[in-house]
Amino acid sequence: MLRRAGGVLGIGIAYLLIVTTVGYVIALIMVLAAMLVYLGEGLNVQVALVSIGGACFFWVLFEYFLGISMPGFWGL
């Protein structure tokens, strides 16, 4: 039980560590894909498309719709 929960927490910590380097969109794609694979969906085209689509949706929602600046690629 603790190990499964630790995995989800680890994905969150990994996001914190990489987001300022790779930027919001790529970090979020990795979080979505990692969560889906970790929770048993398997690495396939659907997971890849949902992760990319989901990250782009959040980016458009926060960056453009709400006007909030999210972390850019390599700190830009």
Partner 1 sequence: MAGVGWGILGGALPGISPSIAMALLLPLTYGMEPGLAIVLLASTYVGAEYGGSIPAILINTPGTNAAAATVLDGYEMQRQGRGGEALGISLYSGVLGGLFGLTMLILLTEQLAEVALAFTPMAYFSLGLLGLSVIVSLSGESLLKGFAAALFGLMVATVGSDPISGVSRFTYGQPELLDGIAPILIMVGLFAVSELLRQASVPVWDKPMGEGARLKLPDGPMRRRLIKPQLLGSVIGTVEGVMPGAGGTIASFMSYNEARRWSKNKDEFGKGSPEGVAAPETANNTVASTALVPVLSFGIPGSNSAAILLGGLLVHGLLPGPRLFEENSGIVIGLYTGLFVATLSLLVLGMLILPVCLWLVNRPKAYLMAFIYALIFSGIYSIDQSLFDLGLVLGAGTVGFFMRLAGFPFLPTVLGVVLGYLVESNFRRSLVLSGGDYAIFLEDPISLGLLIVAGIFILGSLSARMWVGWRSLRGGSTSGLV
The single residue among 40, 64, 74, 75 that binds partner 1, judged by CB under 8 A, is: 40
Instruction: Check binding of 72 to partner 1 (CB under 8 A).
Output: no
Letters for 2-31 (x = contact with partner 1 by CB under 8 A, - = none) are: x-xx-xxx-xxx-xx--xx---x---x--x
**Cβ at position 76, least distance to partner 1 in Å:** 14
Q: How would you write 31-62 as a 3-class SS string? A: HHHHHHHHCCCCCCHHHHHHHHHHHHHHHHHH
Three-state SS for 23? coil
